[in-house]
Amino acid sequence: MIFIENEHIKVSFAAKGAELQSILGTNSLTEYMWSGDANYWGKFSPVLFPIVGALKDNTYQFEDKSYQLSRHGFARDMEFEYHHINEQEILFTLTHSDETLKVYPFEFKLSLRYKLSGASLSCTYEVTNPAEKELLFSIGGHPAFAVPLNKQGTYTDYFLSFNNDIELTYYHIVDNLISDKKSVLKLDEGKLTLQHNLFYDDALVIKNLKSDSISILNTKNYNGLAFNFKDFPYFGIWAAKDADFVCLEPWCGIADGINHNQQLKDKEGIVTLAAKQEWKRTWQVTCF
Share of the chain above pLDDT 70, in %: 100
Residue 187 in this model has a pLDDT that exceeds 90: yes
3-state secondary structure of 33: strand
Residue 203: φ, ψ to 5°: -70, 155
How far apart are the C-alpha atoms of 83 and 13, rounded to whole Å? 12
Q: What is the pLDDT of residues 254-288, one digit of tens each?
A: 999 999 999 999 999 999 999 999 999 999 999 99
User: Average pLDDT, whole number, for the chain?
Assistant: 98
Burial (0-12, 13-18, 19+ Cβ within 10 Å), 29: exposed
Q: Would you state the pLDDT for residue 128? A: 98
How far apart are the C-alpha atoms of 235 and 57, rounded to whole Å? 23
Task: Write b or e for each residue in 223-251: b if 16 or more Cβ atoms lie within 10 A of its Cβ, otherwise e.
Answer: bbbbbbbeebbbbbbbbbeebbbbbbbbb
Beta bridge partners, 116, equal 121
How far apart are the C-alpha atoms of 11 and 123, rounded to whole Å? 12
Q: Would you state the pLDDT for residue 1? A: 82
**How much is the CA Rg of the chain, to the nearest whole Å?**
19
pTM value is 0.97
The number of CA neighbours under 13 Å toward the Cβ of 53 is: 33
Domains in the chain: ranges and CATH: 2-287 (2.70.98.10)
How far apart are the C-alpha atoms of 52 and 142, rounded to whole Å? 10
Mean pLDDT of 40-64: 98
Check if the beta carbon of residue 25 is closer than 8 Å to that of residue 287. Answer: yes
Mean pLDDT of 118-122: 98
Q: What is the pLDDT of residues 245-262, one digit of tens each?
A: 999 999 999 999 999 999
Give the CA-trace dihedral at 53, 57, 58, 59, to 10 degrees.
Answer: -120
Q: Would you state the pLDDT for residue 214? A: 98
Q: What is the pLDDT of residues 147-169, one digit of tens each?
A: 999 988 999 999 999 999 999 99
Q: Would you state the pLDDT for residue 127? A: 99
Residue 205 in this model has a pLDDT that exceeds 90: yes
**Angle at 251 (CA atoms; ends 249, 252), nearest 5 degrees:** 170
Confidence of residue 12 (pLDDT cuts 50, 70, 90): very high
Residue 181 in this model has a pLDDT that exceeds 90: yes
Q: Would you state the pLDDT for residue 276? A: 98
Q: Would you state the pLDDT for residue 175? A: 96
Tell me which long-range contacts 132-135 makes (C-beta under 8 A, separation of at least 24).
132/275, 132/276, 133/275, 134/272, 134/273, 134/274, 134/275, 135/106, 135/107, 135/108, 135/272, 135/273
